[in-house]
Amino acid sequence: MRQAHTREQLWAVLRSWRRAGLSTALVPTMGNLHEGHLALVAAAREQADRVITSIYVNPAQFGEGEDFDRYPRTLETDQRQLEEAACDLLFTPTDQTMYPGGLGDSTRVKAAPSLANILEGANRPGHFDGVVTVVARLFNLVTPDVAVFGEKDYQQLLVIRRLVLDLGYAVRIAAVATVRGPAGLALSSRNRYLDDEQKTAAHQLNVVLQEAASQVADAPTHLPEVERAAQAKLEQAGLRVDYVAVRRARDLAKPSADDPDLRVLAAVWSGATRLIDNRACRPY
């Protein structure tokens, strides 16, 4: 596996691949890799001739009081995992590489408000502006043919698809289903913060979302009741709830009676750790 830290190092590798007519897939990450990330790398290998994984903990998407400083950084372990996953290039840019003029004086991208100001965006103001800013920079630097993202961050996936559409990037966005642990908890770098008791409570997030998705299928005209019941169950499990919402899958708008594809999404706190998850559902 080759490595690049600077724009020039990255571009040198990419030029050689382009001269050989090879297609490229990008897997953007913040590191602390787990099986969910490796599933993205595996999917990328099926999509293109060469796979680039980026590791960069982006300060622009962390709000005041969030866990930027304590976000786990495990580069040596991440490198070993990517080698075993047959990643072709690891791009680990510095802040100078990503924000040459400094973060405070940087050109920013603003996410589409209809997607960015609800649910996660309402609870984390400015978060998605930071996401699209760094993703746009990665797309500009790497110019991949395809970029691979996980469905666990479903709202982020839609925000990035809108970014690609609005700014005319010639990159295809591929989505990979959420990877879960044996008890159904969605894999996340933040799971390592959970102690045994908090992890037991966190397992209820997937259980409750599955139940809510089934209820949507059985009674699609009673969505507010489904949301309230799911919130109550999560709170009974000892979780603090930021939101539980059933939304239209394509744009996260509140669904109408004839919308065929929905998602039930939630964000909760188990102890001091914030977790998100979602499940697809189809009313019948």
Distance CA 108, CA 111 (A): 10
- Amino acid, res. 278: N
Catalytic machinery residues: 37
For residue 257, give every residue at least 6 positions away whose Cβ sits within 8 Å of its Cβ, in sequence order, or none.
Answer: 220, 221
Calculate the CA 92 to chain-centre distance.
Answer: 18
CB atoms within 10 A of CB 43: 20
Pair of tokens at residue 76: 């040596």
- DSSP letter at 185? P
Strand ranges, E, within 12-88: 24-29, 50-55
Distance CA 47, CA 36 (A): 17
In the three-class reduction of DSSP (H, G, I as helix; E, B as strand; rest coil), residue 194 is classed as coil
CB atoms within 10 A of CB 154: 24
- Amino acid, res. 85: A
DSSP 57-79: --GGG--TTSSTTTS---HHHHH
Of 62, 49, 34, nearest in space to 191 by CA: 34
